[in-house]
Amino acid sequence: MISKSLIQTKDELVTVQEDISLAEALDILEDSGFRCVPILDKTGKIFRGNIYKMHIYRHKSRGGDMTLPVTYLLKNATKFISINAAFFNIFFTIKDLPYITVLDENNYFFGILAHNRLLKMLSRSWNVELGSYVLTVLSAGERGDLVEMSKAITKYSEIASCISLGFRKKDNLHRTLFTLPAGIEEQKLKRIVSKLQRKGFEIEEIEDLSKI
């Protein structure tokens, strides 16, 4: 489920109504500085799609009629999520979009979740600011692996964060990223790595966060 703190609500956004012209939409995009904005119906409740500045410019450069309604170049009409959507649905829906539209429980336009806000949330989950090292540990993904890896690490240190990346098809291995808290000395890091290896886990990468 989305944290509402990540969503920019309708009253914070620049939107356009479905009945304005392409010329009017371009003026709004130019004034706002955004490369695209949501198109809403006349009531301001129903999401119709997005309008991109680049598509209007391309249309104009080809001698297109700028008095046509903005919906003529409407894009991403089906690119939206529910405010109660699961995280994986959000992550795979947004992909290369600058933002994904969020609808409320009544399927009315609630706001947007910007790509950069989602990435910032993910970066915080790595706990980079409070961490020392990130260990990428490979496993077969068998039952109990996460418990065993965690036990091996917590014998010597707390775990600042843990992220599972799932299987990679080409080698059929599961990747789990463990961020160790600040203050971990290199000698203790070596003990953790050695313990994991003795448990049968491979360390694919060790990233020193102090060098980022």
Q: Give the angle subtended at the CA of 62 by the CAs of 58 and 68, to the nearest 5°.
A: 75
**Annotated domain spans of the chain:** 4-121, 126-211
Q: Which residues pair with 177 in a beta bridge?
A: 136, 163
Residue range 115-171, pLDDT digits in tens: 888 777 766 666 666 788 989 999 988 889 999 999 999 999 999 888 887 666 666
Taking CA atoms, 98 is separated from 76, 103, 151, 162, in Å, by 11, 17, 40, 27
- At the topology level, CATH places domain 126-211 in Alpha-Beta Plaits (3.30.70)
pLDDT at 37 over 60: yes
Q: What is the predicted pLDDT for the residue at 88?
A: 66
At residue 199, φ and ψ (nearest 5 deg) are -80, -5
| Domains 4-121 and 126-211 alike in fold | no
User: Could you tell me the pTM of the whole model?
Assistant: 0.67
Q: What is the predicted pLDDT for the residue at 212?
A: 63
CATH number, domain 4-121: 3.10.580.10
Residue range 93-111, pLDDT digits in tens: 887 788 999 999 999 999 9
Quote the mean pLDDT of the chain.
89
pLDDT at 92 over 90: no
Q: Which residues pair with 173 in a beta bridge?
A: 168
**Average pLDDT of the segment spanning 165-189:** 83
Is 110 exposed, middle or buried (CB count within 10 Å of its CB: 0-12, 13-18, 19+)? buried
User: 173 in helix, strand or coil?
Assistant: strand
> What percent of the chain lies above the pLDDT cut of 90?
65
